[in-house]
């Protein structure tokens, strides 16, 4: 099966937009992009009067090395949100194709599928002893789908998936569609990324982001890792200059070895402090269940989830209500903050009565 044959016929027939700012065209006297020749006040050498390189070579090189893949396996996007949207638009025919999600999960998979007019098939996770598990039998019976979205560690449950579970699903569905594994939180977990496996498994797509472990949510930088044929299809529909120059510069700096090492230390600090948060939650009388998970957040079920969110907000602390997700009535997601912020939450919790 040629992976490109799974894409929408309209997309297969497209040629990518010919951008004027590919690296090779960006030296000399630049009279080819209707830009203003003068940089703005306070430009600081960024050259903001010029369009950015569509897929910045240096950043791609650094990220490919960090993810252990080749640059041809990488598409840089405006956050993983854009990666999800591009996959949807390239592969899913409105009112014809199906998309599978396994809720409770990140809400953009379903929203993006609905925007595209996909038939959304939800195979809910099953609550097990320690956490939430994929319903493997349900997934095998679900029938063909152009995209299956999995997430490891999963938002909001925090559970990780075994590599073999994902790869087996991808192998079984190789003639039908892509299996997308969203690894937005993988740096917080001890698990290995599946990024390097896309070389052997052409229908496997891995989503990574600089929004979480790298602390660059404001830069909107995501990395979609896939077979070069998938990357080639997505490049046909991504807008011409998606990545703003200041965001790219910040990301390049964040990938300097010393900056990466400093982030690793911060991750250790966050994850160490998680124990303190989990302990405070587990000993609270109104808390029924705590799922520490493998990411930089904790999921908790209390006697009244919406009340916890409301009362915390009144104390100036924002939490995420998960009550609307299947199986998560009265559940709340709490992101780890700085030690001081975690202390503030723990102090609020000690006084909180449901």
Binding site for ligand PMP (CB under 6 A): 79-81, 106, 151, 155, 182, 184, 209, 211, 217, 222
Rounded to a whole number of angstroms, the minimum distance from the CB of residue 130 to ligand PMP is 20
Nearer to ligand PMP, 44 or 217 (CB): 217
**Cβ neighbourhood burial of 145 (10 Å; 0-12, 13-18, 19+):** buried
Is the CB of residue 295 less than 8 Å from the CB of residue 335? no
- The closest residue (CB) to ligand PMP is 79
Q: Which is nearer to ligand PMP, 106 or 132 (CB)?
A: 106
Could you tell me which residues come within 8 angstroms of residue 44 by beta carbon, excluding any fewer than 6 positions away? Answer: none
- Closest contact distance (angstroms) between CB of 298 and ligand PMP is 14
Residue 84 C-beta: closest distance to ligand PMP, Å: 7
Please choose, from the candidates 147, 149, 102, 92, the residue with its C-alpha nearest in 3D space to the C-alpha of residue 122: 102
* Pick 139 or 216: Cβ nearer ligand PMP: 216
HSE, CB side, 13 Å, CA atoms: give it for residue 80: 23
Contact status, residue 178 vs residue 150, Cβ threshold 8 Å: no
> Minimal CA–CA distance to 100: which of 144, 134, 136?
144
Which residue, 118 or 349, has its beta carbon nearer to ligand PMP? 118
CB of 211 to ligand PMP, least distance (A): 3
CB of 109 to ligand PMP, least distance (A): 8
| Shortest Cβ 340–ligand PMP spacing (Å) | 23
Are the CB atoms for 99 and 118 separated by under 8 Å? yes
CB of 223 to ligand PMP, least distance (A): 9
Place of tokens 């990220």: 63
Residue 245: Cβ-neighbour burial (10 angstroms; 0-12, 13-18, 19+): middle
Between CA 49 and CA 313 the distance in angstroms is 42
* Shorter beta-carbon distance to ligand PMP: residue 184 or 281: 184
In the bound state with ligand PMP, the residue whose beta carbon lies nearer, of 80 and 302, is: 80
64-84 burial by CB neighbour count: b if 16+ within 10 A, else e? Answer: beebebebebbbbbbbbbbbb
Structure tokens at 103: 């809720």
Calpha distance 151→118 (Å, rounded) = 20
Please report the sign of the dihedral spanned by the C-alpha atoms of residue 41, residue 47, residue 53, residue 56. Answer: negative
Query: Distance between CA 309 and CA 354 in Å, rounded?
Result: 11
For residue 327, the minimal CB distance to ligand PMP (Å) is 17
Residue number, 20 or 86, with CB nearest to ligand PMP: 86
Smallest distance, ligand PMP to C-beta of residue 77, A = 8
Residue 224 parent element (H or E):
strand 222-225
Closer residue to ligand PMP (CB): 54 or 79: 79
Residue 106 or residue 188: which is nearer to ligand PMP going by CB? 106
């Amino acid at each position: 099966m040629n992976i490109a044959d799974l894409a929408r016929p309209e997309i297969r027939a497209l040629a990518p937009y010919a951008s004027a700012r590919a690296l090779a065209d960006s030296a000399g006297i630049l009279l080819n992009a209707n830009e203003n020749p003068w940089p703005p006040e306070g430009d600081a050498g960024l050259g903001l009067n010029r369009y950015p390189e569509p897929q910045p070579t240096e950043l791609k090189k650094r990220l490919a090395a960090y993810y252990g893949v080749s640059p041809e396996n990488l598409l840089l996007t405006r956050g993983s949100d854009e990666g999800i949207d591009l996959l949807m638009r390239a592969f899913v025919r409105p009112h014809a194709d199906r998309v599978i999600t396994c809720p409770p999960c990140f809400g953009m998979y379903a929203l993006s599928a609905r925007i595209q007019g996909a038939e959304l098939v939800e195979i809910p996770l099953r609550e097990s002893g320690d956490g939430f598990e994929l319903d493997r039998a349900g997934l095998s019976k679900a029938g063909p789908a152009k995209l299956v979205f999995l997430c490891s560690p999963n938002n909001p449950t925090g559970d990780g998936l075994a590599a073999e579970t994902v790869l087996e699903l991808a192998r079984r569905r190789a003639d039908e569609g892509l299996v997308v594994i969203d690894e937005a939180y993988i740096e917080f977990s001890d698990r290995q990324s599946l990024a390097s496996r896309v070389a052997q498994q052409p229908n496997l797509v891995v989503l990574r982001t600089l929004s979480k472990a790298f602390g660059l949510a404001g830069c909107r930088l995501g990395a979609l890792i896939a077979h070069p044929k998938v990357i080639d299809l997505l490049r046909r529909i991504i807008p011409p200059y998606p990545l703003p120059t200041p965001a790219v510069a910040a990301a390049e700096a964040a990938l300097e070895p010393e900056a990466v090492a400093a982030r690793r230390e911060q991750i250790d600090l966050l994850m160490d402090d998680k124990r303190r948060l989990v302990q405070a939650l587990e000993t609270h009388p109104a808390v029924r269940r705590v799922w520490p998970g493998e990411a930089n957040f904790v999921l908790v079920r209390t006697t009244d989830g919406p009340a916890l969110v409301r009362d915390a907000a009144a104390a100036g602390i924002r939490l995420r209500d998960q009550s609307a997700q299947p199986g998560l009535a009265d559940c709340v997601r709490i992101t780890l903050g700085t030690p001081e912020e975690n202390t503030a939450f723990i102090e609020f919790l000690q006084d909180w009565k449901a």
